[in-house]
Amino acid sequence: MVDIIEYLEAGAEARYDRMAQPGGKLKCGCGKIFDPEKEGGVPSPNPYAMPVCGDCFEKCLEDVKMEEILRDIRKERDRQDKQWGEAGHDDQHRQEDWTEYITGFANAERGAALDFRARMVSVAALAVAAIQSHDRKPEAG
């Protein structure tokens, strides 16, 4: 049986060999030839991740940041559900109620104790709750 580590290492070596270009440069998945000593990087702590050019590296970092933000919104949404109840509570609110809640948090009336980022995560989670509630209602069509 093939050892999984050996399998992963062999695959990584093969991918790296396909990326190798003359002069120590590499060919990124986007097609750009780059010098890994001067730009780019490995966008993951995964030891089998391949280096990418500077443009792709920046894009990967943006994607990671977006995933972190969405994860925080999901955690806040879960916290709200635990605090207030789930659909049964949310579906009692009208569109005007949601607008008032969201505006209140965004303007720091309700979320005054929170820093800006935490307040915006709460606003985003409230917007998700409003959309979920809207989509469950028959008139949402």
Q: What is the pLDDT of residues 72-97, one digit of tens each?
A: 999 999 999 999 888 888 889 999 99
Instruction: Identify whether residues 42 and 99 lie together within a single domain.
Output: no
What pLDDT is stored for residue 111 in this prediction?
A: 55
In a domain, 61, yes or no: no
Instruction: Identify whether residues 41 and 72 lie together within a single domain.
Output: no
For residue 125, pLDDT over 60 is answered with yes
* Long-range Cβ contact pairs of 5-11 (< 8 A, separation 24 or more): 8/48, 9/48, 11/48
pLDDT in tens, 92-104: 999 999 999 899 8
CB proximity list for 126: less than 8 A, separation 6 or greater: 80, 98, 101, 102, 105
Question: What is the count of structural domains for the chain?
Answer: 2
To the nearest 10 degrees (0 to 180), the angle between helices 116-136 and 95-106 is 170
Instruction: Identify whether residues 75 and 133 lie together within a single domain.
Output: yes
Instruction: Identify whether residues 84 and 132 lie together within a single domain.
Output: yes
Q: What is the pTM of this model?
A: 0.61
Instruction: Identify whether residues 47 and 75 lie together within a single domain.
Output: no
Instruction: Identify whether residues 94 and 47 lie together within a single domain.
Output: no
pLDDT in tens, 108-119: 766 566 788 888
Mean pLDDT of the chain: 83
Residues 82 and 54 sit within 8 Å (Cβ to Cβ): no
pLDDT in tens, 52-72: 888 888 887 788 788 889 999
Instruction: Identify whether residues 47 and 76 lie together within a single domain.
Output: no
In a domain, 59, yes or no: no
107 C-beta neighbours (distance < 10 Å), count: 12
Please report which confidence band the pLDDT of residue 43 belongs to, taking 50, 70 and 90 as the band edges.
low
Residue-range definition of the domain harbouring residue 106 = 66-140
In a domain, 101, yes or no: yes
Instruction: Identify whether residues 76 and 108 lie together within a single domain.
Output: yes
Q: What is the DSSP letter of 125?
A: H
Instruction: Identify whether residues 44 and 96 lie together within a single domain.
Output: no
